[in-house]
Amino acid sequence: MSSISSVRVPPDRGGVKINIDASFEYSSSRSGIEVVMRNSLGALLDGFFFSHWSLFPLAAEGQALVSALQFAISRNFLHASVETDSLQLVTALSQEADASRSFVQSY
């Protein structure tokens, strides 16, 4: 069994670090979306949680990302980095794909 270690990396001064996560319950297709925003000192700037209906776990993670970015823009947090524990989401976003088949575009 392999593991990936992580170390907290703060955003640049004046920047915002956005942490996203989603949980998913197969029996009800419900997900919990969590978003936390911190400054370069680690101080909490904002955050939110909501329940959402999702078809599958990756869709929930994608919804967390979209919701976080929309909220960051609405708060004028334009210099931001996003952190997730979803390797599947990072892989999906990193792959070069035809724009018509893009995971993010489907939202």
For residue 103, the 8-state DSSP code is T
Compare 103 and 45 and report the one with higher pLDDT: 45
For residue 69, the 8-state DSSP code is H
Confidence of residue 98 (pLDDT cuts 50, 70, 90): very low
Give 3-state DSSP helix, strand, coil % of the chain, rounded to 5.
30, 30, 40
CA distance linking residue 36 with residue 68, whole number of Å: 9
pLDDT at 7: 73
Domains and CATH numbers, the chain: 16-106 (3.30.420.10)
- Find out whether 65 and 89 touch, Cβ atoms under 8 Å: yes
pTM, to two decimals: 0.79
51-75 pLDDT tens trace: 999 999 999 999 999 999 999 999 9
